[in-house]
Amino acid sequence: MIITSTEDTIAAIATPPGNGAISIIRVSGSQTFEIADQIFLGQIKLSDAPTHTIHYGRILDHPDELVDDVLVSVFRNPHSYTGEDCVEINTHGSPIIQKKIIDLLVHSGARLAEPGEFTKRAFLNNRIDLAQAEAVIDLINASTDASLRGARNQLDGLLSKKIGFLKNNLVNAISLVEIGLDFAEEDIEFIEYKELLERIETVSGEIEKLLASYSFGKIIKDGVNVAIIGKPNVGKSSLLNYLLKESRAIVSSIPGTTRDIIREEISINGILFRLFDTAGIRITQNEIEKEGVARSREAIKNSDIIILMNDAVQEYSGDLLNEISSFVEKHKIISVINKIDLIENRDCFKNNIGISAKTGEGINHLLDSLSKAALKHSNYSEKSAIVSNTRHYQCLKNANDSLENAKESIINSYSGEFISVDIRSAITNLSEIIGEVTTEDILKNIFQKFCIGK
């Protein structure tokens, strides 16, 4: 692990910017209490206060000008978020008050925190590992129940424990291999190649399960892109408006009303779906509508699921389906027929989902189909150890590639040196996930995504 200086005492506003009822200013570092006592006047000094206590008092500007009445929470190392001495100043949510307190703290010896520096210190002080630190930003950005539960489980160490277990199995295996190298002249074998191969295959199988969970992990973390497409006037905008329960898109009987793509988000069974209402696809001479059609085709290519809409009143056309199927996998397409409230004969819906964007008939069937298409009958849940982070996925893939090389060396009865190198490479890649092996560049890339104050 790299060593980064944490000697500075840092301060930042930990709540969203702007006006509010309450604002929290966080301070962390070895000089926290000494600095805070310079501006806080209460019944006792914060440096004398027990950990996990709250104290009422006043923040004073030099020499004795009142800034605000506050409540200050005291956390002593190592029992704080950062693992350092820490205080959190609860003040009224005025930007002017916030700025004055921050200025006073800086004047008294603190410095402004960098983005994610509090969480970075928690990692460097072994309060959390790197995978858990990355889960913090996922927790903050969670927009659905599923993404929240997934981030919470990673923060609780579900993935980290799994990675640690696999790494320890490899460490035990490589130990026997390398001990054997030390006694090579005595021709002593501490582990047979058959047993070593079985151990590696067991770990490799578990890694492959984690790799396979990535698509599900990305769905619960980032959501699913859904393009609503069809010819003009089949009810694409009406469907969007019904799902959103508001008049978001203009609905008109005039073909070509929708010229640009409208994007909205909804949660279905805890999964985030980004809906793209696209321009009706047809041949047109209108330059603006042409651009809208071109953008619709681009949205189709970038979507995870396609809702292909037809109209129950108009004659069903398979031309658009055939065109889309030429560049989109068929399992991504959900075929829908709208305006079923206008007809009596429903026999034409055998391979389609019949709906009415006006009355809501069939909409629940469509929503269930969207959920099933998104999850692809996955056996994973947010309670499983799953991979949702691209960095984790790449580290796991690299580890598995190294294990494949190790297995090949074993099968070919190569010397233990070759096997050891590949197993050690796999261990290193697994260690990178939880931060036992890392670099300053990796840390910078991770923590710069955080907000200041976290």
Domain holding 231: CATH number?
A: 3.40.50.300
| 169 and 98 in a common domain | no
Does residue 337 sit in the same domain as residue 306?
A: yes
pLDDT tens across 390-445, in order? 999 999 999 999 999 999 999 988 888 888 899 999 999 999 999 988 888 888 88
Residue 440 lies in a domain: no
Range of the domain at 66: 10-129
Asked whether residue 282 is assigned to any structural domain, the reply reads yes
Check whether residue 16 and residue 125 sit in a common domain.
yes
Tell me: do 103 and 148 sit in the same domain: no
Domain annotation covers residue 5: no
> How many distinct structural domains can be found in the chain?
3
User: What is the model's pLDDT at position 426?
Assistant: 95
- Tell me which of 110, 129, 148 is where a domain ends: 129
Q: Which CATH number fits the domain that encloses residue 49?
A: 3.30.1360.120
Domain shared by 391 and 260, yes or no: no
Q: Is there a single domain that holds both residue 188 and residue 224? A: no
Same domain? 404 vs 338: no
Q: Indicate if 337 and 295 belong to the same structural domain.
A: yes
Same structural domain, 226 and 370: yes
Which pLDDT belongs to residue 285? 45
pLDDT at position 85 is 97
- Whether residues 125 and 142 fall in one domain: no
Pair (91, 194) in one structural domain: no
**Domain assignment present for 4:** no
Query: HEC states along the chain?
Result: CCCCCCCCCEEEECCCCCCEEEEEEEEECCCHHHHHHHHEEECCCHHHCCCCEEEEEEEEECCCEEEEEEEEEEECCCCCCCCCCEEEEEEEECHHHHHHHHHHHHHCCCEECCCCHHHHHHHHCCCCCHHHHHHHHHHHHCCCHHHHHHHHHHHCCHHHHHHHHHHHHHHHHHHHHHHHHHCHHHCCCCCCHHHHHHHHHHHHHHHHHHHHCHHHHHHHHHCEEEEEEECCCCCHHHHHHHHHCCCCCCCCCCCCCCCCCEEEEEEECCEEEEEEECCCCCCCCCHHHHHHHHHHHHHHHCCCEEEEEEECCCCCCCHHHHHHHCCCCHHHEEEEEECHHHCCCCHHHCCCEECCCCCCCCHHHHHHHHHHHHHCCCCCCCCCCCCCCHHHHHHHHHHHHHHHHHHHHHHCCCCHHHHHHHHHHHHHHHHHHHCCCCCHHHHHHHHCCCCCCC
368, 231: one domain: yes
Q: Which of 328, 355, 375 is the last residue of a domain?
A: 375
The ranges of the chain with pLDDT < 70 are: 1-6, 63, 180-190, 246-261, 279-296, 315-317, 346-349, 377-382
Tell whether 143 is covered by a domain: yes
| Last residue in a domain, options 129, 158, 180 | 129
